Chains A and B, each alone.
Chain A
Amino acid sequence: MNGTTTRNIVRGLAAATCSLLGTAAALPAIAQEKHWEFDTALLYYGEDGDRVQDISLNLLARRLFPDDKILSIGFAVDSLTGATPSGAVPQNELQTFTRPSGLATYSVAAGGLPLDDTFLDTRYALTASWQQPLGENYAGTAGVSFSTEYDYTHVGANLALARDFNKRNTTVSLGLAVARDELDPVGGAPLPLALMSDVGDLSGRAGSESKDVVDVLLGVTQIVNERFLMQFNYSLSDASGYLNDPYKIMSVVDPISGQPINRPPTPGLVGPLHEYRFENRPDQRTKHSLFGQGKYYLDGKVLDMSYRYMTDAWGIDSHTLDAKLNWPVGDASYIEPHIRFYTQSEADFYRVSLRDGDPLPQFAAADYRLGRFDAITAGIKYGWQTSAGNDFAVRLEYYRQEGEIPSGQLLAGQDSDSLYPGLDAIIFNISYGFAW
């Protein structure tokens, strides 16, 4: 094929193909390559009452290179408002708390659940990853992540390696991620189990803190047949450093009556009227997690079920069962009901409150997220393809969480239902995916 004949190949081939197929000249092809894929989503998460409201915007762009390399860039903005339970228990009298800044107080009416609104914040997150083949049978991915908010900065890096076996029906992957998070809590991180002090007294505060997290993941994906795909993951996560929530406190109560212990503020100062202590968690947490997922395809519908078991060094065991059914309706749309059940046991050091007169435990926290609770998520998604071939979807979900105080921790006058701050939340998500 020298220069002169090269030019004639396409035309000569078209003529030969015409005679072979016995048809008139074919209509010209219309084919277009898409180099970029974009996934965008707007999420609203709203808890009932004055609790957390989160609006987040997520953008993910993927550049597909012709030689099997993929660049992914993600950007997210989260805007959190509202308040979250501080860990103090409701009381029959007015409660006053020093704000985390140490510069003011706020009060909660008798019988009210103590909420702390220091939580409101805006978070920006960026991720980037690069994936490419490594030799004949391997693929590597390397990525970085960064996020920042008022009192928190996260920097992370991750690596993953995947290998195919068994005519590409089996993929084994190994991943490693490391992260360092810096916390610079408002007013400084409280010293472990320190008493909440009067306004202006920052003696119980330290400066900024940090934690390191290492995650290792081992996964196997198996294509069983054309209709069935299974995936199993084992992951190990080790966090060390400052693992407390600097804004969470515990009420100190009378061991007989369960009533709060009075604490008169220093004359001339304002401060809490009762005793509260900041929490303290172990400075290390190792988690093991096993995950299994099956996707079954039947007559256009896809059933996706998964189960996760997690156990950690803090004594929390959790089980998650998740099921989705993607059901096509009409020409270019589908509905997808979703249900998820979650249950966890409490951390060994979970205390709904501290008993006055008892020696202080080494570790204690009243954070409801470390307590025993069950949660259910139920919702539905409706998705459709636009005439331009892009994907639109809306998802509405309801989340309910109900907890229980371990019976041994309840004192006279305390009851589990009013002490565990269960919650109801609504999740609404709009997503749009397009290629370019």
Chain B
Amino acid sequence: MATAERLIPLVVQRQKDHWRGEFTAMGSPCEVLSKASRSIAQMQVGAVAAEAWRIESSFSRYNSDNIVHRINTVNGVAIEVDPETANLIDFAAALYKLSDGRFDITSGVLREVWTFDGSDRVPNEDQVSAVLARVGWHKVLWKRPTLTLLPGMQIDFGGIGKEYAVDRAASIAASFSDAPCLINFGGDMAAVSADPGCMPWRVGIESLTPGTAKPFKRIDLQRGGLATSGDARRFLLKNNIRFSHLLNPLTGWPVVNAPRSVTVAADTCTEAGMLATLAMLMGSGAEPFLQQQAIRSWCIPQLHRGGSGGRTCG
């Protein structure tokens, strides 16, 4: 994120029945749609962008002067973290437990051997098990507010950060106005409104099919979160096996036969995003998993899985 861009004032533009402001954060196009007045919408966009950029700079693993960088470079030394970081770590620890270890913020180092660029470069078993020795939340000592990793281990909030930012942004936007507002950070979104009878936002879930101008699926979102997890363009293909970019931290190998995309609606964007990610981590078990949860979700299965096709999972 270039500093210059942040200096350009964020101007809202009139859409059919709302104001829209846009900016870029966390590598995604971000937008705020608000039915408040122009001046309120302008303030909402400014405050939302500031929060998104704050979260990005505070928790991005690419940034060299934040808490994540310090945690990842202290090489086994205990480190005391601020309350917000502690909240994120608590959340990650809860997710680790809920997912029986499939969701693990220490799994990022596996990317040292896995590069998902559509090629067939698959690492060998030895390379994977060498890196796997530095993966596993159970090897971490976490006693709020003190975190101790084994030397060589790293953490990464990449799987949580964007959804967290969307929910933070939604509550900030709601603090300015009761009018309906939609926060959309690269397809992960949350709608807030004080009026339960308000007109829903029409959300089109982008089709993965070439040349499809219209969205393949339309969801009317009045309130709550909506998030999509998918591997449409990040995968490896070898011997006709499609390795999704999602890695199973228990084995060090990619999840296979995960759906191409899972979209979940939940009360918050964070819950929707985590459920979509957990479903993807289940691989071919994604659809049964989603069906067991009493949630609204939609899957696009792998193409080669034959004629049964996708369906509304829950």
Residues of chain A at the chain B interface (Cβ within 8 Å)? 1-2, 5-10, 12-17, 19-23, 25-34, 37, 62, 64-70, 131-133, 135-139, 162-164, 168, 171, 173, 221, 226, 299-300, 328, 331-334, 385, 387-389, 435
Contacts and interface: CB of A to CB of B under 8 A. Distances in A.
Contacts of A67: 299-301, 309-311
B112 interface: no
10 contacts: A7-B292, A16-B90, A19-B87, A23-B171, A33-B219, A67-B311, A69-B216, A70-B216, A171-B210, A385-B16
Contacts of B298: 33, 66
B16 A33 contact: no
Interface of B: 13-17, 22, 87-88, 90-91, 94-95, 97-100, 102, 164, 167-168, 171, 196, 199-200, 202, 207-212, 214-226, 265-268, 270-271, 274-275, 278, 282, 289, 292-296, 298-301, 303, 309-312
A328 B14 contact: yes
A27 B168 CA distance: 15
Given A6-B289, A66-B299, A67-B311, A162 B220 contact: no
Given A9-B278, A20-B91, A68-B207, A31 B309 contact: no
Residue in B164, B210, B309 with the greatest tally of chain A CB atoms within 10 Å: B210
A66 B309 CA distance: 8
Nearest to B310: A67
B219 A34 contact: yes
A37 B204 CA distance: 12
B275 A10 contact: yes
Contacts of B207: 68
Given A10-B295, A16-B98, A33-B218, 7 more contacts: A1-B100, A16-B95, A17-B271, A31-B223, A66-B216, A67-B301, A388-B199
B117 to A, nearest CB: 14
Contact of A16 (B94, B212, B312): B94
Residue in A20, A21, A65, A132 with the greatest tally of chain B CB atoms within 10 Å: A20
Contacts of A1: 98-100, 102, 278, 282, 289
A135 B208 CA distance: 11
A174 to B, nearest CB: 10
Given A10-B294, A21-B270, A385 B17 contact: yes
A28 B218 contact: no
Nearest to A387: B199
A328 B20 CA distance: 13
A30 B196 contact: yes
A328 B211 contact: no
A402 B9 CA distance: 52
A37 B218 contact: yes
B301 to A, nearest CB: 6
A29 B266 contact: yes
A12 B94 contact: yes
A31 B88 contact: no
Contacts of A389: 199-200, 202, 220
B260 to A, nearest CB: 9
B224 A68 contact: no
Tell me what chain B mostly uses at the interface: helix, strand, loop, or mixed.
mixed
Nearest to A298: B13
Contacts of A385: 16-17, 199
A138 B211 CA distance: 8
Contacts of B223: 27-31
Contacts of B14: 299-300, 328
B167 A21 contact: yes
Which 10 A/B pairs are nearest by Cβ-Cβ distance? A29-B224, A162-B211, A67-B310, A16-B94, A164-B210, A30-B222, A300-B14, A31-B265, A26-B267, A332-B17
Contacts of A29: 221, 223-225, 265-267, 296
A74 to B, nearest CB: 15
A171 B100 contact: no
Contacts of A70: 212, 214, 216
Contacts of B303: 133, 135-136
Contacts of A17: 91, 167, 268, 270-271, 274
A334 B17 CA distance: 10
Contacts of A164: 210-211
Given A21-B167, A31-B221, A34-B219, A68 B300 contact: yes
Contacts of A132: 209
A22 to B, nearest CB: 7
Contact of B209 (A5, A30, A31, A131): A131
A107 B263 CA distance: 69
A218 to B, nearest CB: 13
A401 B225 CA distance: 54
Contact of A65 (B224, B266, B294, B309): B309
Contact of B296 (A2, A31, A388): A31
Nearest to A9: B98
Contacts of B312: 33, 66
Nearest to B200: A389
A332 B311 CA distance: 33
